[in-house]
Amino acid sequence: MEEQVIQETPVASSEQPVAETANTVNIDVSAYEQQIQALQQRATEAEEKFQGIKGKLDDVYKKQDEQRRKTLEDQGQWKDLWEEANKTAQIKDQQIAELEQKLADLRTSNETAAMKTSALSAISESGAINAAQMLQLVQGNLKKVKNSSGKVVTGGVEDYINVDLGKLKNPGSGYEHHF
State how many domains the chain has: 1
This prediction has a pTM of 0.39
Does some domain include residue 8?
no
Average pLDDT over the chain, rounded to whole?
A: 76
Annotate 5-39 with DSSP letters as a single string.
Answer: PPP--PPPP-PPPPPP-S------HHHHHHHHHHH
Does some domain include residue 150?
yes
Does some domain include residue 15?
no
Does some domain include residue 19?
no
| 3-state SS class at 172 | coil
What's the rounded Cα separation, in Å, for the pair 63 and 80?
18
Does some domain include residue 10?
no
Task: Give CA torsion, residues 81, 87, 89, 95, to 10 deg.
Answer: -150
Does some domain include residue 1?
no
Segment 64-76 mean pLDDT: 80
Does some domain include residue 18?
no
Residue numbers of the domain that contains 150: 29-178
CA distances from 106 to 6, 32, 100 (A): 81, 17, 10
Helix, strand, coil tally for the chain in percent (to 5) = 65, 5, 30
In this predicted model, which residue has the larger pLDDT, 152 or 94? 94
Segment 135-162 mean pLDDT: 65
Does some domain include residue 14?
no
